[in-house]
Amino acid sequence: QQQVKQSPQSLIVQKGGISIINCAYENTAFDYFPWYQQFPGKGPALLIAIRPDVSEKKEGRFTISFNKSAKQFSLHIMDSQPGDSATYFCAAREGSNYKLTFGKGTLLTVNP
Amino acid sequence: KAGVTQTPRYLIKTRGQQVTLSCSPISGHRSVSWYQQTPGQGLQFLFEYFSETQRNKGNFPGRFSGRQFSNSRSEMNVSTLELGDSALYLCASSLALLAGEGDTQYFGPGTRLTVL
């Protein structure tokens, strides 16, 4: 049972474009939704995170949009750059425990 | 401040052997979690330790075990290795200033385990 579904599996955008990655979850007890960025040979690094009491959170070029009723959240990368090329994972966590449930990941390629 | 460190970075074992992986969390962090990353299954939670106690466990067989020491360093052990255990094993640490309070988890670079 895949509790967090992520799409698309891969994404190619041009430099300066907008990258959008979507996630949907099933467990309504999830209350913390982070996005991680992973480069080859590195561990995942936290990009931005949101809790369900807000519908949007922005940090620089990265924005999370959250739709609690639809149980969906998405990552928008504005003005995408070749350096953003990486694998992006959405995740969800329930309560105060430390078990992250991850989506399968999206391989983003930003062409110069 | 140094990040999460994992040793060794690469490991090659044969089926039936056992392996121990080590994780040193960020200084002052008290919670350590372990994840398995494979191309097919993605990132899957193995277990989490806080103050030397396992607080949470994922859906992995008993061949996978772990422990945490008083200095918060953690080890995980996989016994009777199978080909399917080949994966990147990631460790993440959190401050966990208040017991039971969730916060940001910082990942290490992982240990790449290959089982032949």
Q: Provide the 10 A C-beta neighbour count for residue A71.
A: 16
What is the secondary structure of B104-115 as a DSSP string?
--EE---EEEEE
Q: What is the pLDDT of residues B31-44, one digit of tens each?
A: 999 999 999 899 99
Instruction: Give the per-residue pLDDT at B96.
Output: 73
pLDDT at residue A26 greater than cutoff 80: yes
A1 touching chain B per CB within 8 A: no
pLDDT band at A111 (very low <50, low <70, confident <90, very high): very high
Helices and strands counted in chain B (H then E): 0, 11
**Is there a contact between B102 and A95 (Cβ–Cβ < 8 Å)?**
yes
Output B64 or A1, whichever has higher pLDDT: B64
Distance CA A88, CA A45 (A): 10
Contact across the interface for B4 and A42, Cβ inside 8 Å: no
Cα nearest neighbour of A106 on chain B: B42
Q: What is the pLDDT of residues A31-85, one digit of tens each?
A: 899 999 999 989 999 999 998 889 999 999 999 999 999 999 999 999 999 999 9
Q: What is the pLDDT of residues B52-78, one digit of tens each?
A: 999 889 999 999 999 999 999 999 999
Please name the residue that has the structure tokens 């480069």.
A39
Instruction: Give the per-residue pLDDT at A1.
Output: 59
Q: What is the count of residue pairs from A and B with beta carbons less than 8 Å apart?
A: 64
Cα nearest neighbour of A87 on chain B: B42
Output A41 or A19, whichever has higher pLDDT: A19
Distance CA A95, CA B4 (A): 24
